[in-house]
Structure formats: C-alpha cells, structure tokens
Structure 1
C-alpha cells in the first residue's frame, strides 16, 4: 500500500449508485478520501464522497483524467472504459479488480470461454453474431439468449421458446445457453486480497422477480446440505484463484434438481446477493471488499443470525419523485433494517432500497419478510 489510511489515501469509485453508497459508508471507518465518477448529477453517492465528478464511465478521457491523480480505483459497475484503466495501471494507479478481470467479465461470451477453459461447471452454450443465426443453433429449444455485453439487472436476457420468438430476439452478438431445469438459484461471494488470502461468505438462496428478472428475496444462510454448500464455495474459490482477482467476486449459480451446480454469471464487485451481510454477518461484503483491495486481513464471514433480504423495487404504474409507503409499520416489526438508496426518482422495477430482516428463528424471519414485502411500496 503506497499510503496509509488516516485520510491521505485517495480511492476512486467508478459508479455512484447504491453499491458505491454502501461502500462509502464502510470506507468512512478507514478515513479514506473517496472520489466518485458517475453520469447522473443526482447519483446516490454525490453527497457522501469527498469529491464527486459527473461524467461518462465509458469515455476514455473522462475515466483516465478522473483516475490519474488517485492512488487506487475500484468499481461498482462493470460497464466502464477498460482501456483507460489499463493506462492508469501502467502508470502505477492500483486498479482493483484488475482491468483484465473487468474486461473478461464485461463480455458474457468471454466468461463462458473462461469457464470452459478452467473446467468450471456451466450450462452448454453457443455464440451467435446476430439473430439470423438462431435457426442454426445446436442448442435445443427452448433456450436462453443473452447479450454478450451491457446486460445487467435482468436486462439483456430473453427466453426463446419457439421459432416464433426469433422475431423478437436480440440483434446484437449474444450467447445461446441451454435452459437449466434448476431447483434453486444460489450465490457465493468470495474475496481475495493481493497476498492470495481467500474467504467466502456462506451460500445464499435467491428468488427472482419473474417480470424484472432480478433478485427480490434472498435467504441466508442456506439450508441445503453441507456437501452442496461446500461444493458451491469450492467453485467460487477456484474461480477467484483462477482469475487471480483482487477484491470481491459474486458467483451466481444454479442448483439443478439432480444436485449439480452450474455457474451462471460473475460480478467482480459488491453484489445484490450480499446486502444481507451488513446486519447478518460479522463482516459485511462492503467491508470485505475494502479489506481485500487494501490488502488487509480478510474478516470473519460467519452469519450472526437468519437474515432475509428483500429489494424495494419501484411499483408498476409509478414514475417520478419517489414516495415510500409503509416504512413506519415495517419498522415496528422486530429485527427490521431499512436501507434507502437516495434515488430521487422512481420508475417500475428500479432498485430503490432494500430491507434486511433478522431473527433467530428462520421461519419467523421469512414470515416477517413476506409481511414487509406487502407493507413497503415505492410510488410517486
């Protein structure tokens, strides 16, 4: 580490959304000087950081000029200009996760190739350059089409059931994936520092919103067998070591009905599948990411109690200045922790916040979480 903490370490975050906001809340404990770049002049991080710059994350000059006087850069979103990050690395700025890792993960096709080359279990796949190639794919219908680049939060993913769906398929280069008959979507977050120390958070189970295709209900810790949990954590560690990543890596997986685990996607940053760690674990994912990129000893990832995380999504039919209903009633329930993201405007399915529900009894925690889902509504 070039500099000590105590306020003289200048850390840049590319992206000023909720992940950056929660990362800053942890970084304050280290007295780190935080600089943020985001295209939104009203980004959630704007009033929490030491220096905020409004600019395009995918523009070379903007990213390079933002980072050239900083000690270290990290990300809260993968859609950033990697060429600029490579130039900054060459000039001595620490970039974690490394630019080469971000470049690989930006392209879901390169991710799939990486899985195949490193014997990481994943679903069968095929590359296509345009939707005209759909008719000649070797993967049997129905299957999933994913854009190779720029997909996030359920965007850039389509299920192709029949030939009739070809008309509405993505035009851009994409991958076709075999449809997995899974029992549960699971995730493991793994952290690795520059010394090679590595640590996983316990496996979690996820439920997705069928319309928005993003996580809306997460249960931790998992109740699947120790064997399955250990297998998932071993896969996550292998990926982190194969990548030689420094920082946090979220590994999203499918648990199939015959007990196999297939890796779906990677995210090289704090992730929606780790929000419950703020209250539910001894070390949060945000604190662990900072420990990893600062090359500090990694923290204890054990769970404190049963933790349920629910996303607060903008209600359908509402767009405009955000209003929150039901928070007071929700906070009357024991073990409820509300996190609002500081987003001024809501729109359908936009992530506006999350709630973590803690209880010593798992069934009670789940029941309370279902109540919260009905209580809190984000409208306009």
Structure 2
C-alpha cells in the first residue's frame, strides 16, 4: 500500500481538538481544512483552508464537505443530514453519520446501551420541567439535555425535590446517581479493516461545580482486572456501533469492581490530551490513522502522566493573560498547551498542562500546586 498525503481531509469544528489534530497531521504532510462559526477559532491560523461557517447548516456543511475526500468532526453538534448526503455521494465520513445521530442525543445513546447489553445507569425521558415532579423516586439524579450539552453545560444536579426548579424545560433525561468508587475513561480506535486498539485506562477528577474534568491521572491506580475489563468494555462499545474513528468511553467503577458506561464521545477527547507526551502514539495521531485506514499505533504509556485543564478564572472575561506560566516552565517534564483563544471567560477551556515522569504521586502533588498557581485572567 502506498501512502498518499495529498488526500483531502475536512474537519467540522475548529476548536482546540481540531487544532491539536492539525498539529499531528503536519507530521504526515497532511493538509486539513476546518469549518467553524467562530471567525477566530483556534484552528484558523493552522488549517490549510479555514471556512467561517455554520456547521449545523445543511447547505454549508454539504458545500464544505463535497470538495474533500474524508470528512471528520471535532464536535458532535453538526448537521448529520448533510453528512448522510456526503456519504451517499461516496465521501468517507468518520465517525459515520448514523453513529453521530445516536451519540449526539443522550437519550438515543442511553437506549443504545440498553439494546446492546452495555451496562449503564437507570434513566427516564423528560419532556419538560413539569415531568421532573413525576420522578422524585430517582433522586438524587442528573438532569441532562438530550442535545447540545458539552463541557459540563447542559447538566443540572437535582439532589432533592427543592432542586427541581433547576431542571431543564426542554427534552432531556433524568439519570439516577450511582454509588461509584472512581470515574475512568478509555479511548478506543477502530479503522475500516476492523482493527481495534485501546489506550490504557485513565482516572478522572471533576471540578465540583462545573462538571468539567479538572485532573487526569495516567496510568490508573485501579485493579489490573478492572483495567482489563474496562478496555474490553470500550472495545464492545465501538464494535456495537460498528464505528470507524476514535471513541472516548467514560465509565464508572462501582464499589464492587463492576463497570458502568456513563457516556461516550465519537472524537478526540479531553481525557486523551495527556497522550501527546505520555503515550507512544497520541490520540490525535490515532484518530488520523483510523479515519485513513492506516495501521493503528502503539498506545503504551511512556511513564506516568497527570493532565490539568486550564480554565478561565471565574471572575474574569476579556483578553486572556496567563499568570504563573513562566514559573511552571521551571518544572522538568511540564508541557504547556495553550489553545489560541484570545478571549477568556469564566471556566472556559483555555489550555492544558501535562506533567510526565515516573512517580505518579509526586506528579499529583505538583499538579495540585500548579492548579493554584496558574491563573487565566483578563
């Protein structure tokens, strides 16, 4: 097989995930075009061709994708109907539109798990805020918008009946809390040949208020049997979807050691950023390998890694400035990734820091210190 780097790749979405995908694609002499509604999206100055357009608009997505060979996404909220038409026209669209249609709707996603015997938490469909009153027996629970929720948005925690007014007056699901021990993530890739490769399991620690990943720890410190089962479960999920591309599968580890799928994302993911420095193959390179039907890369870790999300300061909005970055650069094994966003907002994802080394406990201590010292202000 001869590798042809002139293949034309289109990405719907121009955020930080697309930006890091482009950085990886450059190593293979691949050119990537991006479309995003933000004229100053992070991909703007790195993409070989950037289109300022609406990725939810049928005509705009169709026109953008029709001049490319392979179309992929870095966000789920795209026009699936246009992608289906592009697929009918013979374009390679990965993940496949039918997969996106299911995963972008949290209700359909949960039903999919039930249909394919994939363990997940108890849930009910909610049509309006009034419906919540009928399901107080499920509390405490999470009320999640069925579509357009991301980065902690579109989720409300309903602990008691007094919190019902926080619920969404829109199509959503009410998902019963489960008594879990840890939250983990497994990223799995699959190419057109059906080859599957999983990344080692990582542990996630979330911001207590914003439902955003605050820290990521690799490798996970859970039992080896649970780790193996988690990787098998991720393989089961991507196989059930018959999906080509990269899939991030977020799971709960229950106190008895069993596993439950929380939700998944059919793209590169926040829980895989550490792989750029921490693993032999990064998630971004793996995604490119998968959608181009290339051999999947080795996912072994190079050592231990901790990732910290850099979020906009809660009291600042405006042109971004970074406090504490220069001091952090004195730390051996510290890698800064800033996403090219000129404007900071409260809790906006502005970048991440990855610490790599051999002693995970020391890396955790350093990471918690950095979290306090690095501030993104205006």
Q: TM-score, normalised by structure 2?
A: 0.98
Aligned-partner Cα distance in 2 for 1:308–1:20:
22
Among 290, 296, 299, the residue aligned to 2:297: 299
Runs of 4+ displaced beyond 6 Å? none
* Ranges in structure 2 where 5+ consecutive residues have no aligned partner: none
Aligned to 2:285: 287
Among 105, 108, 111, the residue aligned to 1:110: 108
Within 5 A, what are the aligned runs for 1:5-44?
Answer: 5-6=4-5, 8-44=6-42
Aligned to 2:223: 225
Among 355, 358, 361, the residue aligned to 1:357: 355
Whether the 8 Å contact between 1:104 and 1:111 is mirrored in structure 2 is yes
Aligned-partner Cα distance in 1 for 2:357–2:137:
44
Cα drift, residue 138 of structure 1: 7.3
Among 196, 211, 214, the residue aligned to 1:213: 211
Bigger drift between 42-51 and 128-137 goes to 128-137
Bigger drift between 24-33 and 242-251 goes to 24-33
Within 5 A, what are the aligned runs for 1:248-267?
Answer: 248-267=246-265
SS at match of 1:41: coil
Among 249, 274, 277, the residue aligned to 1:276: 274
1:101 is aligned to 2:99: yes
SS at match of 2:40: coil
Whether the 8 Å contact between 1:124 and 1:139 is mirrored in structure 2 is no
SS at match of 1:262: strand
Aligned-partner Cα distance in 1 for 2:372–2:134:
45
**Distance change in 2, residues 1:323/1:124 (3 Å):** same
Among 339, 343, 349, the residue aligned to 2:341: 343
SS at match of 2:183: strand
Within 5 A, what are the aligned runs for 1:109-148?
Answer: 109-137=107-135, 139-148=137-146
SS at match of 1:137: helix
Aligned-partner Cα distance in 2 for 1:339–1:248:
21
Aligned-partner Cα distance in 2 for 1:50–1:99:
25
Aligned to 2:165: 167
Among 312, 315, 318, the residue aligned to 1:314: 312
Aligned to 2:48: 50
Cα drift, residue 162 of structure 1: 2.0
Whether the 8 Å contact between 1:318 and 1:379 is mirrored in structure 2 is yes
Cα drift, residue 51 of structure 1: 0.5
Cα drift, residue 164 of structure 1: 2.3
Whether the 8 Å contact between 2:107 and 2:125 is mirrored in structure 1 is yes
Aligned-partner Cα distance in 2 for 1:139–1:176:
11
Aligned-partner Cα distance in 2 for 1:190–1:171:
35
Aligned-partner Cα distance in 2 for 1:5–1:376:
42
RMSD: 1.2
Q: How many residues align?
A: 378
Aligned to 1:193: 191
Whether the 8 Å contact between 1:126 and 1:138 is mirrored in structure 2 is no
Cα drift, residue 180 of structure 1: 1.1
Aligned-partner Cα distance in 1 for 2:44–2:98:
28
Aligned to 1:86: 84
Cα drift, residue 369 of structure 1: 1.2
* Ranges in structure 1 where 5+ consecutive residues have no aligned partner: none
Aligned to 2:245: 247
Whether the 8 Å contact between 2:156 and 2:166 is mirrored in structure 1 is no
SS at match of 2:38: coil
Q: TM-score, normalised by structure 1?
A: 0.97
Q: Deviations over 1:55-108 (max 9, x none)?
A: 111000110010111001110000000000000000011100001101101100
